[in-house]
Amino acid sequence: MKKDDGDLMDKTTQTLPSNELFITSVRLTIMILLFNHKKINFTELQKLLKLTPGNLDHHLKRLEGANYVKTYKKLSSLRRPLTLVEITPYGKKSFKEYITNLRDVLNNIVLSSEK
Amino acid sequence: MSIIEEFDKAFQLVDRYEEYKLFRAWGIIFVITGVARFLLGFIIWNLFYLIYTSMNNNFNSGALMIAVFNSVVSFILIFSLAVIMIYTYLSIRKTTIKDGKLISSKILYSGIALAILYFLTFILQIPGSVYWEEVIAIFICYFILKRGLKSDFKEILYLGVILFVVSIVEFIGRVFLVLYFLYQPLFTPLWIIFYLMIGFVFMIPYIITGLRIFRKGSLILEEG
């Protein structure tokens, strides 16, 4: 990596909008997936993120606490109980705002580096 | 770890999930295609034929009715599959950020192209065989998927090769049946047994391919 690129990356890291809940890749992944798919099976999420049920539950509880997601149980078409995680309208709006802010900051940094 | 790195890691996981969904959807589509094609395309088709000809004792009108019925069943089956494929691709997105929005990329267009292609290939049936167009559709599907996605769908290629071989067997069988027909007017039972076997042989590779692709999807999710 060139020195300029490194400086730009440091600058980016310092100025990016920080949302405490999205600072880990686990919660970021959950939010991006839910943003795209609206709801996801708990077990699939657990396998994808390679987490224990308790660990995933901890992350989900934090997102639930902020009213970003909700979890509920449902019977599948094969009559098996499923736990589903769904994004709330507030969660969707908040995540969209976060992404928009992120884009603005990145754009500003790129513009300032070009000057 | 910086936010950028966290995002990078998150997108890798998101991509893997999309890949998993894609493989599972394809697996299900192939299993359904195999079973439905056999049940609708063969059993109902021939039951209808037997009932109709036994009631009317008229081969020509029976054959016409079968042709119409077969076209209607094929149309419904393939149209349904095309809808499933479009739906699958509409729900699977390659995640990228552009203008502050998470947007879908060309994976969507590959899906729609595939669905239209699959639909047209089945509808515009090539005269002389009912299976050749299916083989062609499978091969074209494989090449479109290979170009549009990073995922490896080798099972679809193998399916095309197996169906190609079965189609040749079917073609040879037809020739023998025509020869048999020339000397034996009551060829119907043999004809039905032959098509039952071909239909069954055609169904098996579809189901195996579907299950293999489905399983591959699960492995992608678990192993990464």
Could you report the predicted ipTM of this complex, rounded to two decimals? 0.78
Judged by CB atoms closer than 8 Å, whether chains meet at B6 and A9 is answered as: no
Q: How many helices (H) and strands (E) does chain A have?
A: 5, 3
| Contact list, B224 vs chain A (CB under 8 Å) | 50
Judged by CB atoms closer than 8 Å, whether chains meet at A100 and B100 is answered as: yes
| Contact list, A99 vs chain B (CB under 8 Å) | 97, 100-102
pLDDT band at B126 (very low <50, low <70, confident <90, very high): very low
Secondary structure string (H, E, C) spanning chain B:
CCHHHHHHHHHHHHHHHHHHHHHHHHHHHHHHHHHHHHHHHHHHHHHHHHHHHHHHCCHHHHHHHHHHHHHHHHHHHHHHHHHHHHHHHHHCCCCEEECCEEECCCHHHHHHHHHHHHHHHHHCCCCCCCCHHHHHHHHHHHHHHHHHCCCCCHHHHHHHHHHHHHHHHHHHHHHHHHHHHHHCCCCHHHHHHHHHHHHHHHHHHHHHHHHHHHHHHHHHHHHC
* Out of A9, A18, A99, closest to residue B4 by CB: A9
User: What pLDDT, in 10s, does the model give residues A70-94?
Assistant: 999 988 777 778 899 999 999 999 8
Which sign does the torsion angle of CA B68, B72, B73, B74 carry?
A: positive
Q: Specify the pLDDT at position A70.
A: 93
pLDDT band at B127 (very low <50, low <70, confident <90, very high): very low
Percent of chain A with pLDDT over 70: 81
**In chain A, where the domains are located:** 20-113
The residue among A47, A16, A15, A40 whose CA lies nearest residue A91 is A40
| C-alpha count within 13 angstroms, C-beta hemisphere, residue B75 | 6
**Which region among A6-15, B65-74, B200-209 has the lowest average model confidence (pLDDT)?**
A6-15
Please say if the pLDDT value at position A69 is more than 90.
Answer: yes
- CA-nearest residue to A28 within chain B is B10
Query: Is B76 within 8 Å of B41 (Cβ atoms)?
Result: no
- CA-nearest residue to B222 within chain A is A47
Top-level class of domain A20-113 = mainly alpha
- Report which DSSP code applies to A20: G
3 state SS of A40: strand
Residue A48 near chain B (CB below 8 Å): yes
| Contact list, B93 vs chain A (CB under 8 Å) | 36
3 state SS of A82: strand
| Contact list, B1 vs chain A (CB under 8 Å) | 25
- CA-nearest residue to A32 within chain B is B14
